[in-house]
Amino acid sequence: MGILDRFRLDDRVVLVTGASSGLGVGFARAFAEAGADVALAGRRADRLERTAELVRETGRRALPVTADVSDPDQAYALVDTVMAEFGKVDVLVNNAGVASAHPALRETPEQFRQVIDTNLNGCYWVAQGCGRVMRPGSSIINVSSILGVATAGLPQAAYSASKAALIGLTRDLAQQWTGRRGIRVNAVAPGFFASEMTGQYTPGYLERMMPRVLLGRMGEVEELAATLVWMASDAGGYLTGQTVIVDGGYTVS
> Which residues participate in catalysis according to the annotation?
159
Find out whether 95 and 23 touch, Cβ atoms under 8 Å.
yes
**Length in residues, the chain:** 253
Residues in Cβ contact with 191 at an 8 Å cutoff, skipping those fewer than 6 apart: 146, 213, 219, 245, 246, 247, 248, 250, 251
d(CA 54, CA 218): 24
Measured in whole angstroms, the distance separating CA 237 from the mean position of its chain's CA atoms is 18
Measured in whole angstroms, the distance separating CA 178 from the mean position of its chain's CA atoms is 19
**Cα dihedral value 66, 71, 75, 80, nearest 10:** -80
